[in-house]
Chains A and B, each alone.
Chain A
């Protein structure tokens, strides 16, 4: 089984639009995993019919038993996250500040604090309009542990792929380089980096490339909107060459991206011309690399 992860460092470069296009091109031959659990958007393009939903529990939250608490204040004294405060006659927990470390509960002389497991979101299995099985998730508002939810989504996607004998998993990652991204990279066979020719795009690409390098995963790059700034596009190509990262394709700035999106379609459904052809060709290249890979 092979796993392709699509990430970008910088947000808004076209990751999800491209992932959805690849999913449509591949149809039932791939399981799709939306690992941008903070703001999962793939479902807007793939019209999933949900067949299973489950709660996801991870991390803990301190809860004070008011009957046992003697207001000694030791919990607040020890808490490094300002999560405990005294108000209207008793100590209370600020759930947004509580890190779930449990230190307060360990030191409470009255055993008045217990740690409650947190429901931090849901994950779902669906059938998409393109014939893929998709696993995605929605992190609870302001919740922590997005990295663990990403791991869960990937794990479920793998399980399904194994059961159904599907040998490809397509993963839509999140922006940034922190825990959700690191979690989405673990176990990947190939990374598709989507960037744009802006100084921010290049700057963020360099950082995400360094991260991918740490994981020793081979990567390719798609430069989206390459004609917005041809000079920076050239700089990106030089950078890719230097880092031995495959330049998969350069896509022009094209209003059809937004028009397709507005109609709830992927580019490959909306546009049957050149753009669609380039994306098709890009995906073909990714698959070729995967099939030639040693892993």
Chain B
């Protein structure tokens, strides 16, 4: 079963929930957690293990071969992203704008734009008994997170044996990186907080999930602060609230030190048990 932990608003506790849930579940199951917040990946701060693999991640971009080029200019006309520009007798390629569609390369009559790999980030794989931790990390200055998210997922899918649970720590927001990270998962857990910002961004996230037809459930973090509008909204919309994590300074302090919460805060562990129960039932087709 694949689960994505996502949220509209940043800083609601996605990584806290994803890392603790993964570590907790790994006591009874084989679990893989993948940090798909490749712009700011933080899962590794909370999870340790033996290094298995570290590799460069690439995307394919065209490279101009001047000797072959007849300067017909078709490549520039075909590129919808302004990534290939003709300047007099030179063809310039802007890799950061390229979406790797291959149109310029494959349609070039002279094969003067072969596709070459370009580094966009790193992937790291560590292992701790029944828990595999994968992290995608975008190079600074790279604009597009989506290709790296897609490639990190591909790596996760190639792991053997298949885990019982795969948990994706998704990026915040509602745009293309989130869609990429939540595509193909069985369940999305939306983490929110009981504030007007939390509610507003939760509504956006819910709309997104409905649009892409994902199953989703909500976890309310920092319960006890703010007001009850999030809970009322979920009730009205018939969205299951599967856990409520209390607002405790101790949780914030443990988090600040990069420590897991549930081994030291029983109330937090109780909420993880509730989530476990929900996802196990869900995986057996019992919950919706």
A residues apposed to B, CB below 8 Å: 9-13, 16, 37-39, 41, 44, 60, 78, 80-81, 96, 99-103, 106-107, 115, 139, 141-144, 146-147, 174-182, 196-201, 203-204, 207-208, 210-211, 214, 225, 228-229, 232, 253, 255, 258, 261-262, 264
Contacts and interface: CB of A to CB of B under 8 A. Distances in A.
Contact of B175 (A81, A144, A258): A144
A100 B101 CA distance: 9
B253 to A, nearest CB: 6
Contacts, number: 184
B197 to A, nearest CB: 5
Interface in B1-18: 8-12, 15
A12 B116 CA distance: 38
Given A177-B140, A232-B256, A139 B175 contact: yes
A198 to B, nearest CB: 4
A245 to B, nearest CB: 16
Q: With a 10 A CB-CB cut-off, give which of A9, A41, A253 has the most chain B CB atoms.
A: A41
Nearest to A214: B141
Contacts of A262: 195-196, 226-227
Contact of A39 (B45, B138, B201, B211): B201
Interface string B241-257: 00000000100110111
Contacts of B107: 103, 106-107
A142 B8 contact: no
Contacts of A198: 255-258
B175 A102 contact: no
Contacts of A175: 10-11, 39-40, 172-173
A178 B101 CA distance: 20
Contacts of A147: 143
Contacts of A12: 9-12
Contacts of B81: 101
A240 to B, nearest CB: 17
A198 B207 CA distance: 31
B11 A255 contact: no
Nearest to A97: B183
